[in-house]
Amino acid sequence: MRIHIAALSAVALAVGAAACTEAEQDNAQADANEAAADTGAAAEDAGSALQEEAAQVGSAIAAGAGEVAQEIDESTDRLAVEAEEQKAETRTDEKGNEP
């Protein structure tokens, strides 16, 4: 939003400068240069803020993925133990049914 306001101010100053005296044009040019500098600074600030947020989102995604991987590992370990228990129970049942 600040970028748009600064850009519009610079355009308005440039248009208004066409109908002014040389001194007024110089002042308008100085104001336009300042507005352009402000616009650049605002864009740089916005870029820095976006970069920081993107880094935080990336860290959150990585942490979440790590948690999911850990839970999958624990679940597969539990399933493997349960499968071994089931196999042992089946073998016991089969021995009990032998003549």
Q: Count CB neighbours of 51 within 10 A.
A: 10
Average pLDDT over residues 78-85: 94
Domain count, the chain: 1
Structural domain span for residue 74: 2-96
Task: Indicate the pTM of the whole model.
Answer: 0.45
Contacts of 45 (CB under 8 A, 6+ apart): none
What are the pLDDT digits (tens) for 10-56? 555 555 555 557 777 778 788 888 888 888 888 888 888 888 899 99
Percent share of the chain, pLDDT over 90: 25
